[in-house]
Chain A
Amino acid sequence: MILDRIVPRVLSVRRLPGADPALLAAYGADPKRHYALGLVTVDQDDPTYVALDEATKHARVDVVFAKSFYAGSAHASGALSGEILGVIAGADMADVDAGLHALIRCLEHDACFYTANDAGTITVFPHVVASLGRYLSAQSGLSVGQSMAYLVAPPMEHTIGLDAALKAADVRAARIFTPPTETNFAAAWLSGELTECQAAAEAYAAAVVEVGRSAWDRNLI
């Protein structure tokens, strides 16, 4: 059945109190402000970006490092590598712990990819962030607390779906990631009122499903 949830698997979670200043600097943290690190690897990258942002809403932590791995979790470097390494940093281990709990809760109960065809070989991430945290707002150039539709799909499906989303709702493209990205998906961040973001995400998902059902355009003669 289509639009089944594919719940992300958190492959590893490690806490690093008192990290070496050289390491802190290399991973983008500020040794003056940051004392402890929390690291996770997950087999889905985009839900993890959302979850990292969620952590900044619940604890005094900064997302200092978050990068997807090339070609995705099907080509991971090891059993624990998955598709992304996310690092949050805080002045206090307790802050980092609170951030990690919020991050894991978000991955378990909110952000996830969905299947877009019956075989599960096409996946889509039509996520609505009701209220942006400090991480994604900085990345997208929007302000904290705004709503955002976070849309990800394979290149062809994404392109058709994004057009449908932009036309279906009163939203503005904050950023469009053309393919290929690290994981070879394509993505877009759309901003607008919460209900408009929801309408855009819905139109996007429906369009992705439709492309999966008719890969060849019926009107091509």
Chain B
Amino acid sequence: MSFTRTLIDNLRVKLGAMDPLPPPPPLPVVPYPPSRVFPTPRRRSAYAEAAAKHTTALVGIGHVGTRYATNVVLQFQAELAVAHAAVGTELPEGWAEANGLLPLHSQVTSHRQFLLRPDLGRRLDAPSLSRLGERARRGIDIQPILADGLSAIACMGSGLTLLGHFTRECEARGWSVGTPMCARFARVWLEDEIGETVNCKVAAILLGERPGLGTGDGLSAYLVYNPKIGRSDGDRNMMSNIHARGAPPEQAARRLAVLAGAMLDQKTSGVPLNLHGLDLGHEAGGGYRAPEPRVRLVYSGSDSSKEKA
């Protein structure tokens, strides 16, 4: 320590460096906020309540101040959990064989890779390709393909029903239908390679759709005429929400058959396909829909008493 530094440090203390801080100024008195800023309105819109009886959409759910009510938030979280769980499921190995379907597999090797690499989910791996060449019927009109897609739960749930109904609808119209098959870790565009290999006129892939709030069991169907690798989404026609609360599988199978018929007639699909005059609605029984209230996954205290009453 140098002379000067010691000297100046002492002077610093002498000039007040070490003095205790003055007491803090008194805090201002802040009044407490009112205990209830947003009273819950007792009055509800009769129109919203009536509309809510006819749809699963989130109408007439009310509000508390500027926020959702607790039961609505809990319902939202529960529905999101259903969707997350559906994405997380995997089609078990051997499920296709157990149900009498020709097993196929995309180039994906793990579930994580399936979610991160859509490109690999669009191509068959080598064993599947040779199996397809050996065991599948070739030169047919319609090739239905069952697949897991983004919801294996949906595939295992109503997939077989939809496949069966769709096959029967096609056969009833006198078309030749290809070998029933099931693809694992499949994306929509996998139907191009399969259809090209089996040389079919229309390929129809029926697969679990991207789960939404509360619907982990929905199937979608994508149809393409003259499938070959390189077809784009503009070449496809699709139908979504094939589940009990949307279009039930029997109805959906009929509408898909009508769609496939139009493709065979017009020899095209996708944007160029003329849908005018197609009786997609009535023949498929799609005119009137019975009211579909939302499935309640969560009941809060006040709700449950209301439900019982």
Query: Residues on A close to B: CB < 8 A?
Result: 1-3, 5, 109-112, 114, 126-128, 130, 194, 198, 201-202, 205-206, 209
Q: Is the CB of B4 within 8 A of A202?
A: no
Closest to A131 in B: B3
Give bound CA distance, A205 to B8, whole Å. 8
Q: Is the CB of B8 within 8 A of A126?
A: yes
Q: Which residue, of B9, B11, B12, B14, has the highest number of chain A Cβ atoms within 10 A?
A: B11
Measured CB to CB, the closest approach of chain A to B281, in angstroms, equals 81
Residues of B within 8 A of A111 (CB): 2, 4
Residues of B within 8 A of A3 (CB): 8-9, 11-12, 15, 17
Give bound CA distance, A3 to B7, whole Å. 11
B112 within 8 Å of A by Cβ? no
Residues of A within 8 A of B10 (CB): 202
Q: Is the CB of B11 within 8 A of A206?
A: yes
Q: Is the CB of B11 within 8 A of A110?
A: no
Chain B contacts with A in 191-244, Cβ cutoff 8 A: none
Closest to B1 in A: A109
Give bound CA distance, A127 to B2, whole Å. 10
Q: Which of A2, A114, A198, A205 contacts B3 (CB 8 A)?
A: A198
Q: Which residue, of B3, B5, B10, B17, has the highest number of chain A Cβ atoms within 10 A?
A: B3
Give bound CA distance, A25 to B102, whole Å. 100
Residues of B within 8 A of A130 (CB): 3
Measured CB to CB, the closest approach of chain B to A99, in angstroms, equals 18
B123-149: CB near A (< 8 Å → 1, else 0) gives 000000000000000000000000000
Residues of A within 8 A of B7 (CB): 126, 128, 198, 201-202
Residues of B within 8 A of A128 (CB): 3-4, 7
Interface residues of B toward A: which range? Answer: 10 to 19
Q: Is the CB of A126 within 8 A of B4?
A: yes
Query: Residues on B close to A: CB < 8 A?
Result: 2-5, 7-12, 14-15, 17
Q: Which of A109, A114, A194 contacts B8 (CB 8 A)?
A: A114
Residues of A within 8 A of B14 (CB): 206
Closest to A47 in B: B4
Residue contacts A-B, CB under 8 angstroms, 23 given: A2-B15, A3-B8, A3-B12, A3-B15, A5-B5, A5-B8, A109-B5, A110-B2, A110-B3, A110-B4, A111-B2, A111-B4, A114-B8, A127-B4, A128-B3, A128-B4, A130-B3, A194-B3, A198-B3, A201-B4, A205-B8, A206-B11, A206-B14
Q: Is the CB of A2 within 8 A of B2?
A: no
Residues of B within 8 A of A5 (CB): 5, 8
Q: Is the CB of B3 within 8 A of A202?
A: no
Measured CB to CB, the closest approach of chain B to A197, in angstroms, equals 9
Give bound CA distance, A1 to B9, whole Å. 12
Give bound CA distance, A128 to B7, whole Å. 9
What would 7 more interface pairs be, CB under 8 Å, given A1-B17, A110-B3? A1-B12, A5-B5, A126-B4, A126-B7, A198-B3, A202-B10, A206-B14
Q: Is the CB of B4 within 8 A of A209?
A: no
Q: Which residue, of B7, B9, B14, has the highest number of chain A Cβ atoms within 10 A?
A: B7
Q: Is the CB of A2 within 8 A of B12?
A: yes
Residues of B within 8 A of A205 (CB): 8, 11
Give bound CA distance, A209 to B12, whole Å. 10
Residues of B within 8 A of A126 (CB): 4, 7-8
Measured CB to CB, the closest approach of chain B to A214, in angstroms, equals 14
Measured CB to CB, the closest approach of chain B to A72, in angstroms, equals 21
Q: Given A3-B8, A114-B8, A126-B8, A209–B15 Cβ distance below 8 Å?
A: yes
Closest to A1 in B: B17
Residues of B within 8 A of A109 (CB): 2, 5
Give bound CA distance, A3 to B9, whole Å. 8
Give bound CA distance, A110 to B17, whole Å. 21
Closest to B12 in A: A3
Measured CB to CB, the closest approach of chain B to A148, in angstroms, equals 11
Q: Which of B2, B5, B11, B17 contacts A202 (CB 8 A)?
A: B11
Measured CB to CB, the closest approach of chain A to B72, in angstroms, equals 56
Residues of B within 8 A of A110 (CB): 2-5
Q: Is the CB of A2 within 8 A of B4?
A: no
Measured CB to CB, the closest approach of chain A to B13, in angstroms, equals 9
Measured CB to CB, the closest approach of chain A to B3, in angstroms, equals 5
Residues of B within 8 A of A112 (CB): 5
Residues of A within 8 A of B15 (CB): 2-3, 206, 209
